[in-house]
Amino acid sequence: MYYRAMVMFSTLYSDRNGRIWEDKDLVFLGRSGRQWVEAEAEDLIPLPAGGSLVMVPGHYPVGIDRDNKVNCREKTPRGAPAVALACLLPQGFTRTLLPATVSPRDTAEVPILGYTAVAGMKNRVMAAAIPTDEHRKWHPEQYNTPDLEQTVESRLEQFPHNRILRQLAYCSLHYSCFTAQNIFYRRWEGGIPTTPRCNARCLGCISRGHTSVSSPQERLKFTPTVEEVVEVAGYHLEAAPEAIISFGQGCEGEPALNADLIAAAIQRVRGITDRGCININTNAGYTEGIKKLVDAGLDAIRVTLLSAREEDYLAYHRPTGYRFRDVERSLSYARDNGVYASLNLLAIPGFTDSEEQVEAVIRLVHNTGVHMIQLRNLNIDPDLFFERIPLRSETLGIRRMIDIFQQEGIRVASYTHPARRGKGLIDGTTA
């Protein structure tokens, strides 16, 4: 028996050709952890501009039928096989529920995507999400513009021998990577990949497959020179508005393993310009490398982690050559030297919002002086995730989790904001 809320949402699904049905006889269910749950009104919002509807391959939609029983739709009204529907959110939004689905036993793992539950209400598509950051700079309409290809070609002609730019050109045009495109648009946060190697084997890695699901991107195949890094970074920081250069991109491994080269580049860049923010996206496991980068003049550090509980951290990230205490040491060293520190918290409903996970994150933040939590929707097959990493405590809900973080004085956001060492954020916001 399920509690029936005052506002009821209906189940959306499609056929294999993408035609969408709203089943008003099947009340919407979402998923939190291993449970199907009926949503509260505050858990869903109209599908944000830039969000995209996608099918969950090999999965049927699940909802509550007129007899108040959980049921699934295997066929559309026209008799075709039904396919569960979900959405992919634009940046700046955090999902509150996973899609509630069932699949045959032999169904392969779903692709590495951040599937978010969707529902129908009065002929509108609703997404299980809440806004967690202002997304002006990351709205999809700002990217993949008609002039992008020409802009890329012009920059490559200007720097014909720079391999980083050629890599970013590929990521811009083939993967629609926003931080790669920003290098060519010369604005905001631009990514600079430098490192093929990694010291972790994350279950949801997007550039190196560690499960039976292929990774959606190819990893960088070369190590650039200091000159190539300086050429890209200096050019971007000198003129880009709200400029950030970020080491540690989806197409590479762990940048701190290349600390000597990046540290030399940071020093050279700061001899050219004192504008903008130099940031690193890292697992922070190689503490000696992080120290070198901090000492060279790093402004900001964003540390990716699934959990602040060591057991769960190790189960997901599967590090080689470091432990969770090394991550803590890196964050503390950054704090002690005035670097603006953020957590890139990989969020999945029914795990991240559990009591023990929330308590562990708060302890880590207070112990290491982290300034901000950036919530990132974890791209992974939920069935695979919960098979590998069990839930041990009650869940609070994503909205409640965010409220608790904010009550603890922790800034919650979705992506990196410009910061300067010792000065904090410089984009008009406060920590």
320 within domain boundaries: yes
Task: Please tell me the distance from the alpha carbon of residue 302 to that of residue 284, in angstroms, as a whole number.
Answer: 9
322 within domain boundaries: yes
pLDDT of residue 393: 83
Whether the predicted pLDDT of 69 surpasses 70: yes
pLDDT of residue 354: 97
Q: Are 297 and 275 in contact (CB under 8 A)?
A: no
How does residue 428 score in pLDDT terms, banded at 50, 70 and 90? low
Q: Are 121 and 45 in contact (CB under 8 A)?
A: no
* Same domain membership, residue 244 and residue 109: no
What predicted TM-score, i.e. pTM, was given to this entire model? 0.93
* Same domain membership, residue 325 and residue 185: yes
CATH assignment of the domain containing 190: 3.20.20.70
* Same domain membership, residue 108 and residue 216: no
pLDDT of residue 321: 93
pLDDT of residue 111: 82
Domain span at residue 79 reads: 10-131
Task: Please tell me the distance from the alpha carbon of residue 30 to that of residue 427, in angstroms, as a whole number.
Answer: 36
Q: Which of the listed residues 131, 151, 180 is the one where a domain comes to its end?
A: 131
Q: Are 204 and 250 in contact (CB under 8 A)?
A: no
5 within domain boundaries: no
3-state secondary structure (DSSP) of residue 104: coil
Q: Are 176 and 164 in contact (CB under 8 A)?
A: no
Task: Please tell me the distance from the alpha carbon of residue 372 to that of residue 91, in angstroms, as a whole number.
Answer: 16
Whether the predicted pLDDT of 430 surpasses 50: no
The domain total for the chain is 2
pLDDT above 70 covers a percentage of the chain that reads 95
For 401-425, the pLDDT digits (tens) are 999 999 999 999 999 999 999 989 9
Q: Are 232 and 169 in contact (CB under 8 A)?
A: no
4 within domain boundaries: no
* Same domain membership, residue 329 and residue 184: yes
217 within domain boundaries: yes
3-state secondary structure (DSSP) of residue 70: strand
How does residue 72 score in pLDDT terms, banded at 50, 70 and 90? very high
* Same domain membership, residue 124 and residue 176: no
Q: Are 368 and 332 in contact (CB under 8 A)?
A: yes
pLDDT of residue 320: 95
* Same domain membership, residue 144 and residue 115: no
Task: Please tell me the distance from the alpha carbon of residue 376 to that of residue 379, in angstroms, as a whole number.
Answer: 9
* Same domain membership, residue 197 and residue 126: no
Q: What is the DSSP letter of 205?
A: -
* Same domain membership, residue 269 and residue 184: yes
Q: Which of the listed residues 107, 131, 155 is the one where a domain comes to its end?
A: 131
Q: What is the DSSP letter of 64?
A: E
Residues 6+ away with beta carbon under 8 Å from 301: 279, 280, 282, 284, 290, 294, 330, 331, 334, 339, 340, 341, 342
Q: Which of 60, 57, 86, 83 lies closest to 72 in space, CA to CA?
A: 60
Q: Which of the listed residues 105, 131, 157 is the one where a domain comes to its end?
A: 131
Q: Which of 24, 11, 194 lies closest to 119 in space, CA to CA?
A: 11
Handedness of CA 308, 311, 313, 319 (dihedral sign): positive
For 136-189, the pLDDT digits (tens) are 899 999 999 999 999 999 999 999 999 999 999 999 999 999 999 999 999 999
48 within domain boundaries: yes
* Same domain membership, residue 236 and residue 367: yes
* Same domain membership, residue 122 and residue 167: no
How far CA 209 is from CA of 214, 218, 377, 380, 387, in Å, comes to 5, 10, 19, 12, 18
| Length, in residues, of the chain | 431
For 285-329, the pLDDT digits (tens) are 999 999 999 999 999 999 999 999 999 999 999 999 999 999 999
Task: Please tell me the distance from the alpha carbon of residue 238 to that of residue 274, in angstroms, as a whole number.
Answer: 8
For 189-222, the pLDDT digits (tens) are 999 999 999 999 999 888 777 666 666 778 889 9
For 6-32, the pLDDT digits (tens) are 458 999 999 999 999 999 999 999 999
pLDDT of residue 392: 82
* Same domain membership, residue 170 and residue 72: no
Please give the single-letter amino acid code of residue 114: G
